[in-house]
Structure 1
Amino acid sequence: MKSHLIKDVGAKLMNRGHRAILAISGGRLLSAPFGMPTVELHTVGRKSGLPRSCYLTSPVHDGERIVLVASKGGDDRHPDWYRNLQATPDAEIVIEGVTRRVTARTATPAEKAELWPRIVASYRGYADYQKRTERDVPVVICENR
């Protein structure tokens, strides 16, 4: 349990730091870590009902969809943002300065099989995250509403 607390606090601090660096730099720094665009995801908390936001990266995106990976760095638990989307799939995403209203869903096994090579080609770390955990790391497809 203590290791989960440390990981969760570390993730929250990293997200706050990312937010601060983006704000201070006017979006110039950390806007595309590992070559993937930063995505600001706005969800509704599944327990609180309050607005929540976090920064992620999108290894695959186009005009119709934005793909997110619920890896949580290989943790054995799903990230909170993913569980929030499961409860309330309607969300907002800010990518490259454009706000999109989206509906999120977990990719089917066939969709994940098609997307996974592209995801790993964008950032090999995702393959390592999958190896660290026994859970199947969900791929989330966010489609324009």
Structure 2
Amino acid sequence: MGRATGPEPLDGRPLGLRLVQKASSTRLFAKAAPRVIPALDRAVHRLTGGRVLLSARMLPGVILTSTGARSGLPRRTPLACVPQEDGGWLLIGSNFGRPAHPAWTRNLLAHPDATVAWRGRDIPVTARLLTGADRTAAWREALALWPPYAVYQSRVEREIRLFRLTPRAPEAAAEAREP
């Protein structure tokens, strides 16, 4: 017999994580989160010199700096991501299950060259909108990391956009893979 460590995970996920995922699937969360979470993430990220993202306590995260589709100005957006073994990232344009695509997805479609802040480093990347089999495989990966994405998709008529970010320089990919 193993020692008791609290409530046994029903599906391999700790109770606390399951509760956060359930809360993040609510419509109230979808209303409040887009205003609160990015503002907190940007502030903490700035105060810690790029070393900490609060939301990364639950999900891996980056700060995406893209070029505004209309303004041409730099736009910094904290985002959950799915790190890839090759040093790239998947970004999920869920917008917390709200009807419109998030602005950062329009920015990447207009200007695919961007930068991500990852583990205290700024890494130049190129974004590619995923379609077909690439999107299907990436969607499965995203759902494995954060099942509430399925709830977000069920609330909206649009297909949630998924992007693959690839470091532009080989040395940047190697740095991204380092722990």
Q: Do the two structures share a fold, i.e. TM-score over 0.5?
A: yes
In the alignment, structure 2 segments of 5+ residues that lack a partner are 1-30, 169-179
- Aligned pairs for 1:1-145 within 5 A: 7=31, 11-24=34-47, 27-28=51-52, 30=54, 32-34=56-58, 36-145=59-168
The whole-number CA distance in structure 2 between the counterparts of 1:10 and 1:115 is: 24
Q: From the two aligned structures, give the one with the greater strand fraction.
A: 1
The whole-number CA distance in structure 2 between the counterparts of 1:88 and 1:25 is: 28
Cα deviation for residue 25 of structure 1 reads 5.7
Residues 125-144 of structure 1: CA deviation (Å, up to 9, x unaligned): 11111111011101100111
The whole-number CA distance in structure 2 between the counterparts of 1:116 and 1:49 is: 30
Contact 2:40 2:54 in 1 (8 A): no
Report what 1:3 is aligned to.
none
The whole-number CA distance in structure 2 between the counterparts of 1:25 and 1:93 is: 16
Cα deviation for residue 63 of structure 1 reads 3.1
Secondary structure of the corresponding residue to residue 54 of structure 2: coil
Alignment TM-score, normalising by the size of structure 1:
0.83
Contact 1:76 1:133 in 2 (8 A): yes
In the alignment, structure 1 segments of 5+ residues that lack a partner are 1-6
Cα deviation for residue 77 of structure 1 reads 0.8
Report what 2:171 is aligned to.
none
Secondary structure of the corresponding residue to residue 19 of structure 1: helix
1:132–1:40 Cα change, 3 Å:
same
1:43 corresponds to which letter in structure 2?
A: S
Would you say how many aligned residue pairs link Structure 1 and Structure 2?
138
Aligned-residue sequence identity (percent) comes to: 35
